[in-house]
């Protein structure tokens, strides 16, 4: 019996599964193993512990695996590739194939066929594949240079917009819900503390900088309560994501050809306002785009690649 291992390493979590040719035998997950977020030692420990866990749950040995597909961000970098190969092959038998996290998500939606995928989680980008198999991309420049419409962007922009609004309207104005809820989420006591925290590159003790992406659900809750400023930020996020799709579409020279558009990531999967704004903008900018109703699971694409090589 052939066994296939699929791994999806995202910005906030890592998940995997073991399957045979017909069914999934077991799943497991852990925290991020992205080397930009955690040390190589921590990433290696997390990944190998997760793989041991899924093998036990499936009742198989990692030495029985026929092929592994590992989808992860930054795979084009030699250092990331070397770490991934070294870490997986140390504990898993069989062939190992590496893909970008956006590529396995594209395969989850279109199984090797043409289409466009937009990703909006911690970061954002879009990737398209033509009928001839050529790939085209847009975005993905990271939180400092881009990631428009992502969770990080939403969190950062919400603070910026709320502070600007308070300067213009005073306490109790349109920004009051956002500032109050963000302070509560970060367990802060004042706007001054919020500003200081948002501007820190690292905390004392060498911990990570503020997690702006974690503020996206906070912004969504404020929007649901009728906060116009929060709703406006989410609508802008959707429009930015539509722009990524539009750029990829025009790079593909698709013309008036109908093309499928899929999405993945927590922002588009969980925040209806962002998703609705993206769909509305695409209806104007790319009328031939056919947006799917539900998010795709990148792990399904990794499994498809593992089974098909």
DSSP string, 128-188: EE-TT--EEEEE--HHHH--TTSHHHHHHHHHHHHHHHHHHH-TTSTTHHHHHHHHHHTT-
Q: Domain limits of the chain?
A: 3-99, 112-295
CB 249 within 8 A of CB 128: yes
In the prediction, which pLDDT does 101 show?
A: 83
Q: Determine the average pLDDT of the residues in 71-99.
A: 90
Provide φ and ψ at 38, rounded to 5°: -135, 160
In the prediction, which pLDDT does 257 show?
A: 77
CA distance 248 to 268: 18
In the prediction, which pLDDT does 19 show?
A: 97
In the block, residue with structure tokens 């881009």: 146
pLDDT one-digit tens code per residue, 162-204: 888 887 765 555 556 888 899 999 988 888 888 988 887 654 4
pLDDT one-digit tens code per residue, 41-65: 999 999 999 999 999 999 999 999 9
In the prediction, which pLDDT does 18 show?
A: 97
Q: Which CATH superfamily is domain 3-99 in?
A: ATPase, nucleotide binding domain (3.30.420.40)
Task: Please give the CATH topology (third level) of the domain spanning 112-295.
Answer: Nucleotidyltransferase; domain 5 (3.30.420)
CA distance 62 to 253: 44
Q: What is residue 88's three-state secondary structure?
A: helix
pLDDT one-digit tens code per residue, 120-146: 988 899 999 998 889 999 998 887 888
SS3 content of the chain, % helix, strand, coil (to 5): 50, 20, 30
Q: Determine the average pLDDT of the residues in 22-31.
A: 94
> Does position 246 have pLDDT exceeding 80, yes or no?
yes
Total residues found in the chain within this entry: 309
In the prediction, which pLDDT does 199 show?
A: 85
In the prediction, which pLDDT does 112 show?
A: 86
C-alpha distance from residue 239 to each of 74, 182, 236 (Å)? 26, 23, 5
Edge-first strand listing for the sheet containing 289-291: 135-139, 124-129, 115-120, 259-264, 289-291
Residues ≥6 apart with Cβ < 8 Å to 199: none
């Amino acid at each position: 019996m052939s066994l296939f291992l699929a791994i999806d390493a995202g910005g906030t979590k890592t998940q995997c599964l073991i399957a045979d040719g017909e069914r999934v035998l077991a799943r497991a997950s852990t925290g991020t193993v992205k080397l930009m977020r955690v040390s190589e030692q921590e990433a290696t420990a997390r990944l190998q512990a997760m793989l041991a866990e899924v093998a036990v749950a499936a009742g198989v040995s990692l030495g029985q695996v026929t092929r592994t597909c590992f989808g992860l961000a930054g795979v084009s970098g030699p250092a990331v590739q070397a770490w991934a190969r070294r870490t997986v092959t140390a504990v898993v038998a069989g062939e190992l194939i590496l893909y970008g996290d956006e590529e396995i998500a594209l395969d989850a939606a279109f199984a090797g066929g043409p289409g466009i995928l937009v990703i909006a989680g911690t970061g954002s980008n879009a990737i398209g594949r033509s009928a001839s198999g050529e790939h085209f991309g847009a975005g993905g420049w990271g939180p400092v240079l881009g990631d428009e419409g992502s969770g990080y962007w939403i969190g950062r922009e919400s603070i910026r917009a709320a502070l600007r609004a308070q300067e213009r309207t005073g306490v109790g104005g349109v920004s009051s819900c956002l500032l109050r809820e963000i302070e509560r989420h970060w367990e802060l006591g004042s706007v001054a503390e919020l500003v200081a925290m948002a501007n820190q590159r690292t905390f004392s003790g060498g911990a990570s900088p503020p997690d702006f992406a974690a503020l996206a659900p906070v912004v969504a809750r404020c929007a649901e309560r009728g906060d116009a400023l929060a709703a406006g930020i989410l609508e802008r996020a959707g429009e930015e994501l539509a722009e990524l799709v539009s750029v990829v579409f025009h790079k593909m020279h698709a013309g008036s050809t109908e093309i499928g558009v899929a999405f993945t990531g927590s922002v588009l999967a969980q925040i209806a306002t962002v998703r609705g704004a993206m769909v509305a903008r695409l209806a104007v900018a790319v009328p031939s785009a056919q947006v799917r109703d539900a998010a795709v699971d990148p792990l399904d694409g990794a499994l498809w690649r593992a089974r098909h090589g």
